[in-house]
Structure 1
Amino acid sequence: MARDPDTIEREIVKAREALASTLDQLGEKASPKRLADNAKTTVRAKLDDPRVKFPLIGVGALVATLLLRKLFR
């Protein structure tokens, strides 16, 4: 059974609008600035954790000590 051309056209318009909305949402989620901001926030949260922060400080101090010993020998 043939469908009414007006109904088909309305369905096409609805599908086009839904696709445009989905593409806008994907574009926003994949924005490089947003991804960079999310990564920066995640790294800062990890570095604020004392279980990560203090061992990193210790490793940094160890590396600095070893470099100073090597320079002044």
Structure 2
Amino acid sequence: MADRDPEIIKQEIDQARDQLALTVDTLAERANPQRIADDVKSGLVRFVKKPAVAMSLAGIGALLLVLVVRKIRQ
């Protein structure tokens, strides 16, 4: 085994520690339940705002309204 300078070893350890801390911070941010919920919510809002989806939902709502009114009248 080659002799290595202790100062270089210390620098490598410090660099590895910093990289590990950055990785842990990144993983913690990605696994944050609030961030995940916000991402899902914004994705759903974008999906529902598409014209085809909005029209389909409006049609389903109108159909349900007609069915409920007919059920009440009977």
Query: What's the TM-score once normalised by structure 1's chain length?
Result: 0.83
- Aligned residue in 2 for 1:16: 17
Q: Please, which runs of 5 or more residues in structure 2 have no aligned partner?
A: none
Computed over aligned residues only, the root mean square deviation of the Cα atoms, in angstroms, reads 1.4
Q: What's the % identity of the aligned pairs? A: 41
Q: Deviations over 1:9-62 (max 9, x none)?
A: 221111011000111112112221211111111111111111100111101111
Q: Give the number of aligned pairs.
A: 73
TM-score scaled to structure 2, two decimals? 0.82
What 5-or-longer segments of structure 1 have no aligned partner?
A: none
Instruction: Report runs of 4+ in structure 1 exceeding 3 Å deviation.
Output: none
Partner AA of 1:51 in structure 2: A
